[in-house]
Structure 1
Amino acid sequence: MFNVLADIAWLSVLLAFVVYFVLGALWFTLFFPRQYRFSLGRENDMPQTTAPIFIIGPAVCTLVITVATAVLIYTLPIDSYSDALLFAAIVGLGYLSANTVTIAINPNIPRPLLYGLISGTYHLVGILIVCMILVTMK
């Protein structure tokens, strides 16, 4: 395990993290803000000041996802773009998107499938980009 950590190109992890995090900011505030608010049942709410937890929390989680992905890419024989795409699809659909939908299916989210589609697709696109950056700079 420690050998893998020493082998990781940490600059690629930093770059992948920043891209993934910025994508999330754009995804939910610029690309799909109406749809996202609608999925949460907040389509008529006035915009509010964002508390730090809503920025720091996703940043920490995105960093954890990016580092875990780097560890797996360096541990598994993932050296080509095709392998990275397959890996990203498995992780993106099998873990990130599926987990997002599972979390959304609760009484507090009125449109869980729409929420899952919006947020799950963000994670799928994000992990695809992360994997491409990590393999490119490996």
Structure 2
Amino acid sequence: MISQLAGLNWVSVLVAFAAYFLLGALWFTLFFSKQYRISLGRENETLPNKPIFIVGPALCSLVITIASALLIYALDISSFSEAWKFSLLVGVGYLFANTVNIAINPNIPRPILYGIISGTYHLVGILIVSIILVTMK
């Protein structure tokens, strides 16, 4: 599968990554800012804006995008229908489930709310990534 790296359309990877990252920025600061802060038990606080909170998610989104591109190419996914099915499998089976699993710890006061907000972001994000990657393949 790693041999697929050379054959990737890297422009599509960068476009998909940018869309995923931008979605995250909007999701957590504009669309669901209040709910996200509530899930963290910080509803009356301003969340910190340190570089790690921008660079870290960006790197993670890039890794997810590259891994998705590798799978899409290796599995020869080439239609919107297949991209949708791939997104549901990866989005629910890995990203959403893993996000909820991470949220279930003593440091997250509202783990289910956090899991729904963050997991849904990843599900929508991977759908956008998959559609861009397949469209530009």
TM-score (norm 2): 0.97
Paired position in structure 1 for 2:14: 14
Q: Which runs of 5+ in 1 are unaligned?
A: none
1:63 corresponds in structure 2 to 62
Structure 1 distance, partners of 2:53, 2:36, is 15
Q: State the shift of 1:49 in Å.
A: 4.7
Partners of 2:107 and 2:30 lie apart in 1 by 24
In structure 1, the partner of 2:132 is: 133
Per-residue deviation, residues 79-133 of structure 1 (Å, max 9, x unmatched): 1110010000000000000000000000110100000000000000000000000
Cα separation, partners in 2 of 1:95 and 1:48, compared to 1, 3 Å: closer
Aligned-partner residue type, residue 110 of structure 1: P
C-alpha displacement at 1:3, in angstroms? Answer: 3.9
Secondary structure in structure 1 of the residue aligned to 2:109: coil
Distance 2:47 2:32 in 1: 17
How far residue 7 of structure 1 moved from its aligned partner, in angstroms, is 1.3
- Does structure 1 retain, via aligned residues, the 8 Å contact 2:2–2:70? no
* RMSD, aligned α-carbons: 1.0
Q: Which runs of 5+ in 2 are unaligned?
A: none
**1:115 alignment partner in structure 2:** 114
1:2-46 per-residue CA deviation (whole Å, 9 max, x = no partner) reads: 54112110000000000000000000000000000000000022x
Aligned to 2:50: 51
Cα distance change on mapping 1:79 and 1:48 into 2, 3 Å: closer
Identity %: 69
CA–CA distance in structure 1, aligned partners of residues 25 and 76 of structure 2: 32
Instruction: Give the equivalent residue in structure 1 for 2:31.
Output: 31
CA offset digits 1:53-85 (Å, max 9, x no partner): 000000000000000000000000211110010
Structure 1 stretches of at least 4 aligned residues deviating more than 2 Å after TM superposition: none
Q: 2:134 and 2:84 mapped to 1: Cα distance?
A: 10
- For 1:81, give the aligned amino acid: F
3-state DSSP class of the match of 2:78?
coil
Q: Tell me what 1:41 maps to.
A: 41
